[in-house]
Copies of this chain bind each other. A is one copy, B any other.
Amino acid sequence: MFNENPIWKGLRRSAPDHPRPLADAVLRLIWNARRISRAEIARLAGLSRSTVSEVVGEILPLGLVSEIGEGPSRGGRRPIVLEFRDDSCVILGVEMGGAHVAVALTDLRGRVLAWETRGHPVRSDPAGTRRLIAELCARCLESSPAGGRPLVGIGVAVPSPVDPSRPDGLSRVVMPAWEGRHGLEDLGERFGVPIFVDNDANLGALAEHWWGQGGGVDHLAYIKVATGVGSGHIIGGEIYRGATGVAGEIGHLAIDPQGKRCVCGLRGCLATLVGGQALQERAAELLPEFPESTLAGRPFTVLEIEDAALAGDPLALKVVGEVAKHLGTAVAGLLNLMNPSVVVLGGDLVQLGNLLLDPLRDRVKNRTLISSVAAADIVISELGPRSVAIGAATLVLKASLGDSRLFPEIPVPTVEEAER
């Protein structure tokens, strides 16, 4: 069937749980435009100027929007320019990686004001991780160049699927030591703000959609290639989670039925062929054929393989080329099935640049029938390793722009301060 309960979604002008939706919508519009006059809002939104005047009168006391002077005339009276105050408050975005924690403090435009990161055995030490997150959050807030601004909320990216029906839960399979719960409620209480949690690849996708090259497209896929490989999707501006919150798990697509056995119990998963660990294993495997390689005769890290490839080492180049082709096969499958407008590659491996991108694009071109699918842009993240933490902060921003009551009280500048 269809339309079960949310029949009234958007139909009632003021639901008891969300008064004045119009004010929020206008606030979003101002955020989008950054600087805009009341008359312009009326034109864009199809509202009357009188309504916009009234609504703006409600918004101004929130402290998120200021009148910053007059704009150029369009043939008549000069408009009063409203500006969204990106710096009126701050947001914390936390990335829980497999082996590290990173925290970003951002403003309301996704700019990173402070950045803290530290290695930690996240998977095996839940309590220590929670303590570390709180510590790094506090350090970010203290070190902030413009301290004392109110905090909106804390977004947390976890390296586990998040079931939409149990937002406080974690996968017991992926993170057994965490016993199925992230237990981050205390973090919110300590800082007195709400907590938002989602999967890391999903939040990377969100960040790329809001701030990266995926701006303005309807459907974006983000692929994170680090120790492992995962992917997240934005469809119609929203994070796509699937029925049970595990959508977009590109890691166990079948690439080569004759391939290595994977932890999931089958052969030739993308995860066995792509990612840091696979890179190391494959390099060790091919070493006998390349005795002259700079990697020969000693243990080596993933980073060293990447550096060797960038320096032109034939073994490293071969390994990277193979990885790129396997990834290309998976991306082709993803394009065929989900048909996104943009695929953004993130994670450590993307520092390889065109060494990764060129063979990947070649493989995709060969593996997609319909030209419009192959026309999808495949690009490397400009946000780099920070995209997941930024995405976590963006999750808070997105929620707050959807319901302005989530914003904290902001001291409204007096006339003298505003004129200063």
Most buried by B among A25, A245, A263, A332: A25
- For residue A163, which residues in chain B have a CB less than 8 angstroms away from its CB? 372
How many copies the complex holds: the figure is: 2
Verify B7–A9 contact, CB threshold 8 A: no
| A239-285 CB contacts (< 8 Å) to partner B | 240-257, 263-266
Given known contacts A366-B266, A370-B173, A25 and B11 CB-to-CB distance under 8 angstroms: yes
Which one of A240, A263, A341 has the greatest number of beta carbons of chain B within 10 Å?
A240
| A375 on interface, CB distance cutoff 8 Å | yes
A338-B339 CB under 8 A given contacts A2-B237, A10-B11: no
Distance between Cα atoms of A18 and B235 in the complex (Å): 26
In Å, the complex CA distance between A12 and B333 comes to 41
Q: Does A415 contact B (CB under 8 A)?
A: no
Contact between chains at A243 and B376 (CB < 8 Å): yes
Please state if B339 and A337 are interface contacts (CB–CB under 8 Å): no
A219 within 8 A of B: yes
Query: Is residue A101 contacting chain B, with contact meaning CB distance below 8 A?
Result: no
Chain A: interface secondary structure?
Answer: loop
Q: Contacts A1-B210, A13-B13 hold; do A338 and B247 have CB atoms under 8 A apart?
A: yes
Among candidates B7, B22, B216, residue contacting A29 with C-beta atoms closer than 8 Å: B7
Q: How many residues of A contact B (CB 8 A)?
A: 76
Q: List 22 A-B contacts (CB under 8 A).
A: A1-B210, A2-B209, A11-B13, A11-B25, A217-B243, A218-B243, A241-B339, A243-B341, A244-B375, A245-B372, A246-B370, A246-B372, A247-B338, A247-B339, A249-B337, A251-B369, A253-B336, A263-B369, A265-B366, A266-B366, A337-B337, A338-B338
Residues of A at the B interface (CB closer than 8 Å) are 1-4, 7-13, 21-22, 25, 28-29, 32, 44-46, 161, 163, 171, 173, 209-210, 215-219, 235, 237, 240-257, 263-266, 329, 332-334, 336-341, 366-373, 375-376, 398
